[in-house]
Structure 1
Amino acid sequence: MIAESPELSLVALLAVAAFAAGFIDSVVGGGGLIQIPALFTVLPQHAPATLFGTNKFASVFGTSNAAWRYARRVAMPWRTTLPAALAAFACSYLGAMAVAWLPRELLRPLILVLLVGAAVYTFIKKDFGAVHGPQHSGHRELLYAVLLGGVIGFYDGFFGPGTGSFLIFLFIRFFGFDFLHASAAAKVVNVATNLAALAYFAPNGHLLWITAAAMALANVGGSLAGTHLALKHGSGFVRQVFLAVVSLLILKFAWDTFS
């Protein structure tokens, strides 16, 4: 059963939010900070699964566009990215299934600690992500890529907030990427996790199709603007946006955890 779509004025509001989300997501991830609260605020009458499905549909187009644009301009680290994306796809679906038997609220304090750690580490190490120098090759590269993709994929399917930011941090910390290459690789993995979520939401009718289509177009527009600035200004710009978004994530998780 397909849920009914809301009136045009509400769709327009959500499209504005989707544009902003696409902009942020294309640079460092974290678009869910804008898009998901907007959906729950504007459409409180709809089931959470329907809103999450609509969010994923809108996001996957913007993220796919960003991945494509990065791939045209940046030497993509495919030997790391593709295994990570495949593992993320499989584990994201498993994460969605795990929601039924494991309370997601248990993760909030842990994720808050991890976000603070990532922000502090990035702020203190001024050269973190400044130079692109891949550190692994062969079987070790494949193993680490599968582990990274699997863990982050499961997290995105199970919980989700901050997935793009975690991916960027981990690609830099464990693979030696700079911020620009890490952001490019993160987009490919994010596409995989979004598609895995849609594989669950879409067949079960958890989508507002007209709303999702309008938001997808706006999300792509924001993605075009964000990738243009990221490619123009490079890793320094991405680093600044990364710190800003992670700081917002920390505030949100702190509020949700202690309120």
Structure 2
Amino acid sequence: MAHMKTYRTNVRIGNWNEDLYLEEVNLTMTNDGKVHFGDVVMLVNTGGEQRECSAVSINADINDLRMIPSPGIQAPCSVSAGRGIQACVRTAFIITSVDGSPEGSTLHFEQSFALKTTCGFASGLYLTSDMKSFQKHAKKSRLQEVNLNDISSFMSWWKIIYFDPQERLEYEGQPVPANANVLIIHCKTNQALAVLGNHILWTTYDKEYELTAHTFLDSHRAEEDNNHWILCTSDSAGKGLVNLTHPQSVADNEELTQTNPDI
């Protein structure tokens, strides 16, 4: 009997790893410095003690793939914080409305939204979490688990708050800036999205950091840099990522809008 191929190139399962890691995704180029519903962003933590810069990433292996009804990732699927900072299918998330806000409208601090992977091979899954239990928790740290699911529910609702607690009330209800440090809070459990530098996962892609929903507070009751995230977009020229070494502040975005009132 003639040899039959296990995979065909048109179903894309045979090179699924490359599809997720190498297939480029165009991040949104924001002209007003704000985050909008429908924007495609990367969720980037710029690092800290024991941690390099990393991005929230799909952490799929061969067991997470499906063939029917179309090739792609099946839910639930795990996530991690990968150190390969590049815009690709693994790292791209769409800011998605859960309250009827139209696409293109501005996301505001404290406003609920969802984070969805791109369609196609990434299957349009939602970043989801729930209260930890004896049976359900993060693999290494045993803190609150974060994963991807195909159902949009209250467990996939998140909100953005300002990273400095002393100025948080001042910014409540204001537009969320792109490319600035913020906190991403899980609405149901009120825990902040966090990357753990001391918990390493061996993944198909490399050694990566564990991702969890847990608020880390310092002695001043301020969230630590494990909880600081940038909703990263393309630069204004559309040539690549913004400078992650010096993320913008909310004040930078306000100055940009004031000095360029037409954008």
* Structure with the higher strand share, 1 or 2: 2
TM-score, normalization: structure 2?
0.27
| Higher relative contact order, chain-length normalized (CA < 8 Å, sep 6+) | 1
* Structure with the higher helix share, 1 or 2: 1
